Amino acid sequence: MDPAAIHTLVQELFVAEGPVDRPVRIASLVAFQGDRRTLTERDLPRIASALVNAEQQQGQGQQHPAPEQAQTPAQARPELTDALARTLHALGTVDLDDLRAVRLGPEAFARHLAIAAPDADEGLDADDARTHASLREAVCAHILRFLVRRSPFVTAAEDAAFEERYARDIVAAHDHLTIYGIDLAHSPDSWPLDAAYLSLETEADGGGPSAPAEQALAGRERVLLWGVAGSGKTTLVQRLAVSVARGDLPTPLAGLRGRVPFVLPVRRFRRDGFPEPDGFLSAVRHPHTAAQPPGWAERVLSHGRGLLLVDGVDEAPEDERERLREALRELPARYPGNVWLVTSRPSAVRENWLASELASERFTELKLSPLSREGVTAFIRRWHAAARQDITDRADLDRLSGDEETLLDAVRITRDLGRLATNPLMCGLLCALHRDRRGYLPRGRKALYDAALSMLLERRDRERAMLPPEGIDLPQEPKIQLLQKLAHWMLVNGRSEMDRATAVETLGRHLPAIPHAARQGGPEEIYRHLLNRTGLLREPTPGSVDFVHRTFQDYLSARAVVERHDFDFLIDHAHLDDWEEVIRMSVALARPDECGYLLEGLLAARKDARPVHARHRKLLAAACLEHATELDPEVRSRVHRYTRDLVRPTSLEAARALGWIGPIVLEMLPDPSGVSDEEAHRLAVTATSIADDRAIDYLVRLRDRGSWAVRAQLAGAWRRYDTDRYAEEIIGHLDERELDFPVSDLEELRALRRLGGRPCVQIAGALAPDQLAEGLVAERLTELWLAYDLGADLDLSWLAAFPRLHTLRLSHRNTGVTGVPEGVQVIVAGA
User: Per-residue confidence at 393, pLDDT binned at 50, 70, 90?
Assistant: confident
Distance CA 586, CA 627 (A): 9
Q: Which residues contact 319 (CB under 8 A, 6 or more apart)?
A: none
pLDDT-derived band at 773 (thresholds 50, 70, 90) equals very high
Is 481 in contact with 498 (CB distance < 8 Å)?
no
Tell me which of 145 and 562 has the higher pLDDT: 562
List the single range of 189-193, 687-691, 794-798 with lowest mean pLDDT.
189-193
**For residue 609, what pLDDT band results from cuts at 50, 70 and 90?**
confident
Q: Which of 549-563, 764-778, 817-831 has the lowest mean pLDDT?
A: 817-831
Q: Using the predicted structure, report yes or no on whether residue 754 has a pLDDT greater than 50.
A: yes
State the average pLDDT over residues 2-22.
84
What was the pLDDT predicted at 243? 94
Query: Looking at the predicted structure, is the pLDDT value of residue 439 above 80?
Result: no
Q: Is the pLDDT of residue 1 over 70?
A: no
Residue 65, pLDDT above cutoff 80: no
For the chain, the residue count is: 831
Which of the residue ranges 394-408, 523-537, 708-722 has the most confident prediction, judged by mean pLDDT? Answer: 708-722
Q: Which CATH class is domain 467-561?
A: mainly alpha
Q: How is the chain split into domains, by residue range?
A: 3-150, 198-369, 374-462, 467-561, 740-831
Asked if residue 186 has pLDDT above 50, the reply is no
Contact 346, 226 (CB under 8 A): yes
- Assess whether pLDDT exceeds 80 at residue 282: yes
Average pLDDT of 639-668? 80
Residue 818 bridge partners (DSSP): 795
Mean pLDDT computed over 399-407: 89
Model confidence at 208, pLDDT cuts 50, 70, 90, reads low
> How high is the pLDDT of residue 58?
62
Q: Give the range among 173-182, 337-346, 800-809 with minimum mean pLDDT.
A: 173-182
The neighbour count for residue 330, using CB atoms within 10 Å, is 11
Beta strands in 214-317 (DSSP E): 222-226, 260-265, 306-311
In one-letter notation, the amino acid at residue 603 is: L
Give the pLDDT of residue 523.
Answer: 94
- 427, HSE (Cβ side, Cα atoms, 13 Å): 27
Same fold yes or no, 198-369 and 467-561: no
Mean pLDDT in the chain?
A: 85
What CA–CA distance (Å, rounded) separates 706 from 587?
42
Instruction: Specify which residues 97 forms β-bridges with.
Output: 25
pLDDT surpasses 90 at 645: no
Query: For the segment 80-103, what is each residue's pLDDT rounded down to a tens digit?
Result: 899 999 999 999 999 899 988 988
Decide if pLDDT at 76 tops 60. Answer: no
Q: What is the pLDDT of residues 298-319, one digit of tens each?
A: 999 999 999 999 998 988 877 7
Beta strands in 142-216 (DSSP E): 176-179, 189-192, 201-204, 211-212
Is pLDDT at 70 greater than 70 in this prediction? no
Position 485 pLDDT exceeds 70: yes
Q: What is the pLDDT of residue 168?
A: 94
What pTM was estimated for this model as a whole? 0.66
| Beta pairing, strands 306-311 & 537-538 | unpaired
DSSP for 638-655 reads HHHHHHGGGGS-SSHHHH
Q: Which fold has domain 198-369?
A: Rossmann fold (3.40.50)
Write the pLDDT tens digit of every residue in 328-340: 999 999 999 999 9
φ/ψ of 792, rounded to 5, equals -90, -5
Contact 232, 368 (CB under 8 A): yes
Q: What is the signed CA dihedral for 556, 558, 564, 566, rounded to 10 degrees?
A: 150
CB 189 within 8 A of CB 380: no
Residue 63 has pLDDT above 70, yes or no: no
Predicted pLDDT of residue 473: 82
Residue 62 has pLDDT above 50, yes or no: no
Which range (31-45, 184-198, 260-274, 554-568) has the least confidence?
184-198
Percent of the chain with pLDDT over 90: 44
pLDDT for residue 328: 93
Q: pLDDT value at position 69?
A: 37
Higher model confidence: residue 428 or residue 208? 428
Report the chain's C-alpha Rg in angstroms. Answer: 32
Mean pLDDT, rounded, for 701-716: 95
- Average pLDDT in the 37-59 region? 83
Q: Is the pLDDT score of 219 beyond 80?
A: yes
Q: Which amino acid is at 326?
A: E
Q: State the maximum Cα–Cα separation within the chain, in Å, rounded to a whole number.
A: 100
- In this prediction, residue 740 carries a pLDDT of 93
**pLDDT at residue 830, rounded to an integer:** 54
Q: What's the rounded mean pLDDT across residues 755-774? A: 92
pLDDT of residue 805: 96
12: pLDDT strictly greater than 80: yes
Q: How confident is the model at residue 464 (pLDDT cuts 50, 70, 90)?
A: very low
